[in-house]
Amino acid sequence: MEITRENRKWLDDLQLSHPLVIAGPCSAETEEQVLETAHALKDSDVTMLRAGVWKPRTRPGSFEGVGAIALPWLMRAKKETGLQIAIEVGSAMHVKIALQYDIDVLWLGARTTVNPFLVQEIAEALNGTDKVVLVKNPVNPDLSLWLGAVERLQAQGIKNLGVIHRGFSTYRKTDYRNNPQWQIPIDLKSKHPDLPLICDPSHITGNREMIFDVCQTALDLRFDGLMVETHPTPEQAWSDAAQQITPSTMIQIMEDLRIRKKDF
Ligand code: PEP
Ligand code: MN
């Protein structure tokens, strides 16, 4: 796989003087929740609002997302705040629906990246898109499977690419929800230095108290950005309540992080 500066042009064109920050709720829940989050983040270093619309859950029976009704809410948030919009797609059908809206970034989740057939279908549904497509690592610590998903997108003419490190499942419980195994993103970065690399401390930690430290580690390792789950009332979130932080905590974290300015 050949990744060149062309693949990171979308990020360079943002001309940020700091790492890219994508923030927003695990799940879009209501129009009010989406708008409240977006307005609270709009005058900060956050560039993109994330929200899960379709939620891939490990086991059935928990909240699976409100679905496509959230897309107009996100469009309203974009219009009112100027934030770019990022959502997860997990099937070719999701892609077809999402492409009817002015969504800026689509990402593949960890439970999608593990499945080459699904990735292939999504890549074909995205054929030639100039939207930014980000690929989370698969749930298991398999760098080839992660890169394979990026290759499938590239083969469909998708140029605006990036990857998101969200840690890896373990059977035995550790302090992390998903073990970061930092060596894997470090290897990826050394093989493909022009592939934008974003850290998701929310799914790595599963715990809001640990978010800051993982953000700092990622920046020390020269990641290009962060994706952090942010909710107006995290304890009441419909998914991933333990790991979400408020917009004001997010803004405080961005102020407190040590950033190597010369890198940006
Ligand atoms: C999410 O971003 O809310 C999500 C489901 O993440 P992951 O695919 O990393 O588990
Ligand atoms: Mn989540």
Rounded CA separation 155/151 (Å): 6
Q: What is the mean pLDDT of the chain?
A: 97
CA-based torsion, 241, 246, 251, 256: positive or negative: negative
SS3 121: helix
Complex-level ipTM? 0.99
Atom 6 (ligand 1) nearest CA:
109
Residue 88: pLDDT band with limits 50, 70, 90: very high
Atom 9 (ligand 1) nearest CA:
110
**Cβ–Cβ under 8 Å, residues 137 and 109:** no
Cβ-based neighbour number of residue 216 at 10 Å? 16
CATH 3.20.20.70, domain 5-28+66-263, yes or no: yes
Here the contacts of 240-245 (C-beta below 8 Å, separation 24 or greater) are 240/26, 240/27, 240/202, 240/203, 240/206, 242/206, 242/207, 242/208, 243/26, 243/177, 243/202, 243/203, 243/205, 243/206, 243/207, 243/208, 243/211, 244/25, 244/26, 244/202, 244/208, 245/208, 245/211
Compute the distance from residue 52 Cα to the ligand 1 centre, in Å: 8
Does residue 213 carry a pLDDT above 80?
Answer: yes
* Residues near ligand 1 (Cβ within 6 A): 26, 52, 56, 88, 109-111, 136, 166, 200, 203
Determine which helix (DSSP H) or strand (DSSP E) holds 196, and give its type and residue range.
Answer: none
37-63 pLDDT, tens digit each: 999 999 999 999 999 999 999 999 999
Max alpha carbon distance in the chain (Å)?
47
**Cβ–Cβ under 8 Å, residues 160 and 132:** yes
Does residue 108 carry a pLDDT above 90?
Answer: yes
Report the pLDDT value the prediction gives residue 261, as an integer from 0 to 100: 72
Q: Which among 72, 134, 60 is positioned nearest to 97, based on CA atoms?
A: 72
Rounded CA separation 83/75 (Å): 10
Rounded CA separation 239/51 (Å): 11
